[in-house]
Amino acid sequence: MYTIKTNQEFSKGFIVRRIQVGYLAQEAAKRIRDMIRKGTLKKGDRILEEPMCKAMGVSRTPLREALRILNSEGLIELIPNKGAYVAQPSIEDIEKMFFVMSILEGTCARLCAEKMDERGLERLDDLYRKLEEHCQAEDREKYMAVNHSFHSLVQERAGNKVLSEVINGLRQKILLYRYRQIYQPGRLQESMQEHRDLQKALRERNPEAAERFMKEHLMRQFIALKSVYAGPSNSSVIETPRKTRRGKKGKIHGA
Global pTM exceeds 0.95: no
- The answer for residues whose C-beta is within 8 angstroms of residue 203's C-beta and 6 or more apart is 121, 125
Amino acid 241: pLDDT:
30
Rounded Cα distance between 81 and 167, Å, is 33
CA distance 218 to 142: 19
Q: Could you report the per-residue pLDDT of 189-227, keeping only the tens digit for each? A: 999 999 999 999 999 999 999 999 999 999 999 999 887
> What would be the CATH architecture of the domain defined by 91-229?
Up-down Bundle (1.20)
- CA dist 243 and 146 (Å) reads 34
Q: Phi and psi at residue 86, in whole multiples of 5°?
A: -65, 130
Q: What is the pLDDT of residue 252?
A: 44
41: left (phi over 0), alpha (psi -120 to 50) or beta: beta
Distance of alpha carbon 168 from alpha carbon 188, whole angstroms: 24
DSSP characters for 157-201? Answer: HHT-HHHHHHHHHHHHHHHHHHHHHTTSTTHHHHHHHHHHHHHHH
Q: Where are the beta strands (DSSP E) in 89-150?
A: none
**CATH architecture observed for domain 8-88:** Orthogonal Bundle (1.10)
CB of 172 within 8 A of CB of 79? no
pLDDT tens digits in sequence order for the chain, 255 residues long: 444 445 554 444 444 445 566 788 889 998 998 888 777 888 889 999 999 999 888 899 999 999 999 998 888 999 998 999 998 888 898 899 999 999 999 999 999 999 999 999 999 999 999 999 999 999 999 999 999 999 999 999 999 999 999 998 788 778 778 888 898 899 999 999 999 999 999 999 999 999 999 999 999 999 998 876 665 443 333 333 333 334 444 444 433
Q: What does the domain layout of the chain look like in residue ranges?
A: 8-88, 91-229
